[in-house]
A = this chain, B = another copy of it.
Amino acid sequence: MTSRTVETTLRVRFAETDAQAVVYHANYLIYFEIGRAEYLRAQGFDYRAMEAAGTNFVVAEARATYRAPLRYDDEIVVSTRVAEVRHRSFTFAYEIRRGEALVSTGTTAHVCVDGEGRAITIPAELRALLEG
């Protein structure tokens, strides 16, 4: 398994905050997704080509921990890596930091599906990419 980690820098948008003046917790899943997209982009993945080929992957499970609040305009770094690759599914792991502080960890599990949404074996090209 690859130990590659891709870091993505983001700035908290006002739209992402809530009435507690911190980032609304569901939005961390969006940060994870941006980390995932940048990870795949860095590996040369072509989302539109995969979609055009009639395959896709969907989220099967998501987890996040919240260790410290994030506020408007905070600059954060999302560190993304592949944690596991199985036959039909794979898992990404994430860490969000603001400076040195670890503010969130999380994972998302994904299943490859065909055009009808049925689980399929991970396409070889995607597998190679996930396995680094």
Contact = CB atoms under 8 A, between A and B. Distances in A.
A72 B19 contact: yes
Copies in the complex: 4
Interface residues of A, number: 36
Nearest to A67: B60
A2 interface: no
Nearest to A26: B29
Interface of A: 13-15, 17-22, 24-27, 29-30, 33-34, 37, 47-48, 56, 58-66, 69, 71-73, 108, 117
30 contacts: A13-B33, A13-B34, A14-B18, A14-B19, A14-B24, A15-B18, A15-B24, A15-B33, A17-B18, A18-B18, A18-B19, A19-B19, A20-B56, A20-B58, A22-B58, A25-B29, A26-B29, A26-B30, A26-B62, A47-B72, A48-B73, A58-B69, A59-B66, A60-B66, A61-B64, A61-B66, A62-B63, A62-B64, A63-B63, A69-B117
